[in-house]
Amino acid sequence: MGVSWATLGRGRFYFWLMTAPAILYLIVWRLAPALYTLWLSMNQYNMVYDTGPQWNHFQNFGRIARDGGLRESLSLSVEFAVIATAAELVIGLAAALFFDTDPPARNLLLGIFMLPMIMAPVVVGTAWSTLFNRTVGPIPYIFEVLRGPQIQWLATPATAMFALLVADAWEWAPLVALLLFAALQVIPREQFEAARVDGASGWQLFRRVTLPQIAGMVLVAAGLRVMDAFLELDKVFVMTGGGPGTSTQFVSMFVYKQAFQFYELGYASAVITALLALLAVAYGLYLRGYGRALRPADS
């Protein structure tokens, strides 16, 4: 039976009544701010000094094209997102494979492993900032005890980026593990048994049986993590403040500074609009690739 107004309730009134909160939410909290941001992106508006937004055509977008700082931030964000996602995929996959072997107290271990994921990113940033702190942090202390190099983790460009990657991997590898573990759980065990009977090695089992069947989920996890890591702000804000220099000033931090430190709302809106367009294109390509990856070869 097809869906009709009548099947939705006693009448249209109930249909609208039930859907109104969702529609209202979408309009008020999603669509309206998005449209306002789009409009603001074509205005000069410094919240402190301008009495109101002033239409300046597409000057903000012209500024984006010339802004070396933004280009640097974009490049850092891409670098961070790619490396963090790769690390999280490797760690997450390893953890998922481990949990799939059904170790003793698996559920308890799984629960503990998932804990970082449910922590607020600011808390994660604060915790890792303390761990890496040169004066009171345990990580520099361990290096000292082991007579290793005295590294100023958050004070040099390379180590600050590394520290952020470690913190991000610690927080989000569990999500990847959870997704891949779920995918592993639905692979029929008979396939492994049959392959073993045929003399497949452990690596061949993984390469020929496991990986093809979880490839879709790997792509989903990678897509989710790349987009999220690309917009990382909280941990950067807490751990490095974008420094030293501009070595960890990712694009979100750049936008945050423009909007909430410099109050350049017009320019910040333009950057966000441009980023949104960029992400939409990237996501479109990803969905296209994802569809192809899942499609059977002979279809």
Partner 1 sequence: MLRQPRHRMAAGLIALLLLLPLGLGIQASRAAGVTTLTFLGPDFDEWVAFVKVANEIGKGMGIEIKPQYLPWDDVFQKALIDSKSGVRTWDYVYIYNTWVPGLSTAKAILPVDDFLSSPENRTALQPNDFIKETTAGLQLNGKLWAVPMLAAPYMLGYRSDLLNDAGEKQAFQAKYGYALAVPETYKQLMDIAQFFTRKKGEMLAGKALDQDFYGVIMANKSGGFLFHRFEHILIAFGADLIYNPKTMQPTANSPQSIAAVKYYVELHKYMQPGTETVTGGGAERVMASGRGAMAMDALDNMLSVLPVAKLSQIVGKVNYALLPTQVPARPHANVGDANGLAFYALTQHKAEAYKLATAVLNTQGTKAVMKEYPALVPMRTSVVNDPEVRSSYPDVFAAMSLMLKGKPYTVFIPPLKEWIQTQDIYEQALSAAMSGQQSVEDALNGAQAKEVELFKRAGYIK
**Contact set for partner 1, span 219-278 (CB under 8 A):** 239-247, 249, 257, 260-263
**From the list 154, 165, 178, 270, which residue makes contact with partner 1 (rule: CB under 8 A)?**
154
Q: Is 9 left (phi over 0), alpha (psi -120 to 50) or beta?
A: left
Provide DSSP, 7-44. GGSSSHHHHHHHHHHHHHHIIIIIIHHHHHHHHHTTEE
Interaction of residue 37 with partner 1, rule CB under 8 A: no
Which of 114, 113, 140 is closest to 128 using CA atoms? Answer: 140
Q: Rank residues 126 and 213 by Cβ distance to partner 1 and give the closer one.
A: 126
**From the list 21, 49, 145, 197, which residue makes contact with partner 1 (rule: CB under 8 A)?**
49
Q: Rank residues 15 and 262 by Cβ distance to partner 1 and give the closer one.
A: 262
**From the list 37, 39, 46, 119, which residue makes contact with partner 1 (rule: CB under 8 A)?**
46
Q: Rank residues 143 and 192 by Cβ distance to partner 1 and give the closer one.
A: 143
| 46 three-state secondary structure | strand
Q: How far apart are CA 267 and CA 46, in angstroms?
A: 9
Q: Is the peptide bond before 157 cis (omega within 30 degrees of 0)?
A: no
Q: Rank residues 191 and 246 by Cβ distance to partner 1 and give the closer one.
A: 246
> Residue 52 gets which letter from DSSP?
S
**Contact set for partner 1, span 104-143 (CB under 8 A):** 129, 133-135, 137, 140
Q: Give the CA count within 13 Å in the CB-facing half-sphere of 99.
A: 26
Site size with partner 1, rule: CB under 8 A: 34
Q: Least separation, in Å, of the C-beta of 144 and partner 1?
A: 10
Q: Least separation, in Å, of the C-beta of 165 and partner 1?
A: 17
- Measured at the CA of 290, the angle between CA 285 and CA 292, to 5 degrees, comes to 100
**Contact set for partner 1, span 57-96 (CB under 8 A):** 63, 68-69
The neighbouring-strand residues paired with 255 are none
Stretch that binds partner 1, among 95-103, 149-157, 212-220, 287-295 (CB under 8 A): 149-157
Strands of the chain, DSSP E? 43-44, 54-55
Q: How far apart are CA 215 and CA 203, in angstroms?
A: 16
Q: Least separation, in Å, of the C-beta of 259 and partner 1?
A: 10
Burial of 171 (0-12, 13-18, 19+ CB in 10 A): buried
Q: Least separation, in Å, of the C-beta of 227 and partner 1?
A: 27
Instruction: Give the relative orientation of helices 265-294 and 59-66 as an angle to the nearest 10 degrees.
Output: 70
Q: Least separation, in Å, of the C-beta of 131 and partner 1?
A: 12
Q: Rank residues 32 and 293 by Cβ distance to partner 1 and give the closer one.
A: 32
Residues engaged in binding partner 1 (CB under 8 A): 46-49, 63, 68-69, 129, 133-135, 137, 140, 150, 152, 154-157, 239-247, 249, 257, 260-263
